[in-house]
Structure formats: C-alpha cells, structure tokens
Amino acid sequence: MRIGTVLDFGRPMSVVGDEIAAWEQVGLASVTLGEAYTLDAPTQLAYLAARTDSVELATGVLPLDTRTPTLIATTAAGLDYVSAGRARLGLGPSGPQVVEGFHGLPFGDVPGKTRETIEICRSVWRRETLQHDGRHYQIPLDPSRGTGLGKPLKLINRPVRDRIPVSIASLGPRMVELTAEIAEGWEPIFFYPEKVQDVWGEALAKGNAKRSADLGPLEIIARAPLAVVDGDASAWIDAAKPQLALYVGGMGSREQNFYNRLVAAYGFEKEAATIQDHFLSGRHAEAAAAVPDELVHATALIGDVDHLRQRLAVLRDAGVTLVNVTPMATDPTERLEAVKTVAALSKELS
C-alpha cells in the first residue's frame, strides 16, 4: 500500500513544489490534482514533474466532457513524457452543474462515454491508426457530418508507455461495475472500508468477472484527511466535517446528489437528508454539525499512531493500494511529519 496526497487549490505552485519535493523524500509515492471549474490539472502536474523524481502524477479527475477523447489521450501522453513515465490518468463524469453550467454541454450516458473514451485513449497510446465508430464518438467523422476530408491518423510521437494507468472516480453500481471491468484503478470518494461489500460488492464482482487478465488486479485509491493527534481528537474530527457537509449537502441538487446517495447507502439516510436540508437553506454550520462522528472516523485518518496503524490495516484489508492523504495541519513541519508517519506505517503494513 502506497501513500499519496491530493492537492488543494490556491497556493503558489512554487510553494506546492517545495512541499511535494520534501514529502517525496519521506516516502510520498503519488500526487493527485483534480479539475472541475478550476485551473487545468495537467499544466500544474507538469510543473511538479520537474520538481520531483519518483512520485506518480495523477489527474484526479479530468471530467470526461471537457476534452475530446483524443485530446485526453494526448494530454496524458504528454504528462507521461515530461515525467518519464509517471503519469496516471484519472477520469470521472463530474456532474451536470459543471458539465452543463460551465462547459455548456449536455450531461448524460456516463458509462457509454467512459468506455469509448478509454478505448480511444488506449488506441492512441498504442499508436494505432485511429478508427472508432461509437455511439458518442466517430473518428474519423462521418463525411455526411463534415467536410469529408478527414482521414484516419495515428499519433506522431512515440509515447513513453503504450499503456498509461487509468483510474475512474465512480460511485453508482453501473459505473463501479464498468470500472472493475476496464480500468486499472478505482477512485471512490469518502471511502468507508467496512461498508465496501454492502454498497459495492455486487457491482465489483460483476465487473471483475468481465475483467481482462492483462489489466491485473483492480487498484483501489482512497482519500482521507490526515491528522496525527496525541490525546483528544474531537477538534480535528469537527474540522473535517465541513468538507463532508459541502459534498453531501451542496454538491448537486436535492434530486441529484451522488455523494448524498452514497452517505445514505452507508446507513446515514436520515443524517444525509438533514445535512442537505441545512446546506441548501444556507445553514452551513448546522450542516457541518449534523455530520456524524462515525462517518468522519471511517473516512479519515485522525488519531494517534496506533489508531492510524489500525485504520491503515483496515484499508489494506479492504483492497486499498493507494491512500491519498490530505494533512489538516497548516504548519509545514507538522504536515511533513504527518506524511512521514503514515508513509512509514504503510511500509510497515506492506
């Protein structure tokens, strides 16, 4: 099991680069940067490629509808090139708010778009003459829909790797099944290891039954806020609640919120509804207060070293191969020590 991190937004990249370079020296194995309606992720990851030597550089995630599948493929290949083979392509659907509200594109048929996108990416990386006739993407474009001048092409450059690892951020049963079938990795948010089989067991089993042997075992990539605490951890537990409240309460409408459904599936249906009611009414503090302590304990790494060791073991036993931690401390030295601690624990448990 490896330890990585998920970057936040807003800090100068020179500061982020210094921090990641230092964390790499104490065992950090991967860096993930997301993209929604923010600055693009690959540009910033390319900067980090020049500041590091060994860490994996992962998009986490690129929304499917923000680029053509071919551009997604060439972007991933470009990141793999500048990092000498350290890229990971993380894909996800995002949601109607971003896809329709920021990009002006219709949101829908996520499984179909995901499957076709990955098929096209892998064809590009193999430098095959690109021909794809799918429901969503036709390459080359049918002459009846264009000029008729398009012809099949292949990537000019030879990629560093002809198989860049692909991870999918998925939560619903159809998408989790698809992930287990076709992707190298799965990135479920707010991962509650003890609930995996209850919530996703059937979907994972169906997908794995159709999985090609050359993909290897499915990697599970979990995220967790991190605080190494001796003594009472209640203040840190409370500090982790606003982010959960934001997603469960505010990331989507009352009718369409993937994260609210997930927390309800974990057994917190009443609490999920209360959080959403508060958040959508502008009562953000009350929404955070309604987040159950149990949910934070299950989805975070907050506590003393023995507690962290126990939770990492639970994650390992649930199949997690990469834990992306987000240190909650603001002091740079404390953040470094927290990463050093969990990196050592993960090595101990491997």
Rg (CA), the chain: 20
Which of 247-256, 281-290, 323-332 has the weakest average pLDDT? 247-256
- Tell me: cis bond preceding 16? Omega within 30 of 0 counts: no
Rounded Cα distance, 265 and 262, in Å: 5
Q: What is the pLDDT of residue 350?
A: 85
pLDDT digits (tens, 9 = 90+) for 190-214: 999 999 999 999 999 999 999 999 9
Domains by residue range for the chain, with CATH? 2-225+315-349 (3.20.20.30), 231-303 (no CATH)
**pLDDT level of residue 269 (50, 70, 90 thresholds):** very high
pLDDT digits (tens, 9 = 90+) for 236-267: 999 999 999 999 999 888 888 999 999 999 99
3-state secondary structure of 58: strand
3-state secondary structure of 293: helix
Residue 230: what are its φ and ψ, rounded to 5°? -95, 115
**Mean pLDDT, the chain, as a whole number?**
96
Residue 236 CB partners (closer than 8 Å, separation 6+): 227, 229, 302, 328
